[in-house]
Structure 1
């Protein structure tokens, strides 16, 4: 079985490794001329780390990660703890894999390092995808035509493949903008910060957690906005994020005062699709289901996509590829659409104004902590990505 994967982000790399594990010969095509360090912190719930274990990469990722023992929800103005949820040994015992927090570049490097260099085509822009009953083909900007039995488009939220397959539909602005920064541990050592906290306030929330073995504090502030462009590299104006969180708990302001470069990007999503596949071509990851990050499930859902895709293509004859891709989508579509919707609801919940609704939310969070101890978003962590469930 020959496969072409378009896009070498986290989803594309995971798909490449899962397809290789299933016995496919894979060519990974990426338009960037090199793999570079980009992004900041990323959270990997057990549904993602189980896939990393299947790929033989969990130990390597875990060695570079933060290992939170708990998540603390806090009130915005005085930092009072609303509730706390277990994330350490309790999660690993319950879900069969750990909860990790890593630098996106560290995760990307581990995944990329597991792909044989001869399988990667960097600096190669795909400008078209075609297919017939027997094969699928991608055309590059350089005029090449690469042929395989299937094409997996993991080309991100601005997916060209999605447009070619299903027509134009633009990325949707979520109404929120995120400020992101990384701060060295020694610069915030005196602030008495919780190890991982989510601070909730009217129209905004603030998150921080440790990456790179506790050497760096990943900082994210999310604020309602009328418009903002989607960019991984746009810088915020000096002190813009301080103005956005004026009046918040002194520890939040203390962190923001010590940030250096702060990146500002508009959070965008894609409308849910009723299908991701056409014949021998399918979408995966953000190209299929980009979501707001308020359940920390974007990357995890791409990992599960990749695992299920590999399962569905194992021991399949090339003639059976369209049916196998149909099984992959049927196994994933309803679950991931539910996570998309849940992530959007979580963002609205976090930003409630002070008053009865916020107090009811806080009581609900505390009740969930008392009931199961794992938090409001743990339902997705038990997703079935096992080999035995392949259809």
Structure 2
């Protein structure tokens, strides 16, 4: 059983062979994997292009598949200081604000024995940064321009090792390079061709964080802050989701737009002119919002360099649309799996095999999650018609008394495939089966 202070497999054999590991990118995924690998006894350096160690963006949701890991790693107390634990998620019709569906998050939490958090991205990032401050070297202002494998004849000391080239001209070698460098990953270019790279379209989301006081001053908006709830309004070509963060002191808003709606986004007021008064009031409070360009692509066929010492993690491997709130959670899962696998390594020659196991465990799950998020976005933004009607009918079933809710709807609510997943247990079961 995993403990707060160790990777779940570290106790199988304490005689590991310490590796030199470079992690490219100090985002949520990069810091998490650095923490797990450092704890496993390896020497970890994180390269970050920014001169400041902080995360940009707004709020995010962490479902039980991520929080069970963070709690297991001893971060429960710190998380509870800054996060909000919602009890439900409501869906509303764009035009009249009528409730379409109600997901009891508290039921999901109970069935998984792990919480659901609404948290500011920067708060989670700061928490992770503190957790590695004494164990991991973080090099800020280190822009990576390329990653390649040295040939055995180049250098006896670095024979066959991956090499990271910085904009300064410096070259760094390590036993293992992990690309956690996001959607525009430089590391990915060392593994796949440009033809396979990310597809960016005109769909986008706009993110903003408002002081809760602005909503509390309006009787129509006050309940959005006072109730620990995730609220979604859905309509043709657009959606708006809002939830309190930072112990209710701030309110996070994400406006999601389809391709067609994004073309008109410079006139947000006109775009939402037919939406209900609460949505229009919320939008009127927004002075400016940061644009979050959404990127999507077909799942990659591999995340591992052919020579087996360079690998991708998080958005670098599996960029995912925000519909479903799984981006950060999947990166945390990736980190957990790598941490477990490399907690019992005896020689650097085992790296290619372990990375193949990592890919086998993670790629199918993340690919399924990418596809599910894409379908969810299409469904949420469906124009009025058959798809919208089927969506609304399914959502309405979530409001039936629990005894009358169909098995299919109940299973969709609990979503055990996503929320019940335990990355530590997945690795443990795989290795026990292999042995």
Same fold (TM over 0.5): yes
Secondary structure in structure 2 of the residue aligned to 1:353 = coil
Alignment of 1:40 with 2:58, yes or no, is yes
Corresponding residue for residue 336 of structure 2? 307
Structure 2 counterpart of 1:248, from 262, 270, 275: 275
| Structure-to-structure mapping, 1:282-361, within 5 angstroms | 282-316=311-345, 317-361=347-391
Secondary structure in structure 1 of the residue aligned to 2:191 = helix
8 Å contact 2:148–2:190 — kept in the other structure? no
Moved more, 9-18 or 116-125: 116-125
Secondary structure in structure 2 of the residue aligned to 1:199 = strand
Counterpart-to-counterpart distance in 2, 1:175 and 1:141? 30
For the structure 1 residues 93 and 376, does the alpha-carbon distance in structure 2 shift closer, same or farther, using more than 3 Å as the test?
closer
Alignment of 1:259 with 2:277, yes or no, is no
Cα drift, residue 361 of structure 1? 0.9
Cα drift, residue 115 of structure 1? 1.2
Moved more, 130-139 or 327-336: 130-139
Specify every segment of 5 or more residues in structure 1 that has no aligned partner in the other structure, as ranges.
230-235
Corresponding residue for residue 203 of structure 2? 176
| Structure-to-structure mapping, 1:124-139, within 5 angstroms | 124-131=142-149, 135-139=161-165
Corresponding residue for residue 247 of structure 2? 213
Cα drift, residue 337 of structure 1? 0.1
Corresponding residue for residue 389 of structure 1? 429
Secondary structure in structure 2 of the residue aligned to 1:29 = strand
Corresponding residue for residue 50 of structure 1? 68
8 Å contact 2:102–2:398 — kept in the other structure? no
Secondary structure in structure 2 of the residue aligned to 1:296 = coil
Cα drift, residue 207 of structure 1? 0.6
Corresponding residue for residue 31 of structure 2? 13
Counterpart-to-counterpart distance in 1, 2:391 and 2:119? 29
For the structure 1 residues 390 and 144, does the alpha-carbon distance in structure 2 shift closer, same or farther, using more than 3 Å as the test?
farther
Structure 1 counterpart of 2:169, from 138, 143, 159: 143
8 Å contact 1:301–1:336 — kept in the other structure? yes
Q: Which stretches of structure 1, 4 residues or longer, exceed 4 Å deviation after superposition?
A: 226-229
Counterpart-to-counterpart distance in 2, 1:125 and 1:264? 23
Larger radius of gyration: 2
Cα drift, residue 314 of structure 1? 1.5
Specify every segment of 5 or more residues in structure 2 that has no aligned partner in the other structure, as ranges.
1-18, 151-158, 400-404
Using the size of structure 1 for normalisation, the TM-score is 0.91
For the structure 1 residues 37 and 323, does the alpha-carbon distance in structure 2 shift closer, same or farther, using more than 3 Å as the test?
closer
Counterpart-to-counterpart distance in 2, 1:372 and 1:79? 24
8 Å contact 1:66–1:214 — kept in the other structure? yes
Cα drift, residue 137 of structure 1? 2.4
Moved more, 306-315 or 358-367: 358-367
8 Å contact 1:5–1:26 — kept in the other structure? yes
Structure 1 counterpart of 2:298, from 266, 271, 276: 271
Corresponding residue for residue 123 of structure 1? 141
Using the size of structure 2 for normalisation, the TM-score is 0.83
Counterpart-to-counterpart distance in 2, 1:361 and 1:175? 24
Matched residues, number: 382
Corresponding residue for residue 380 of structure 1? 418
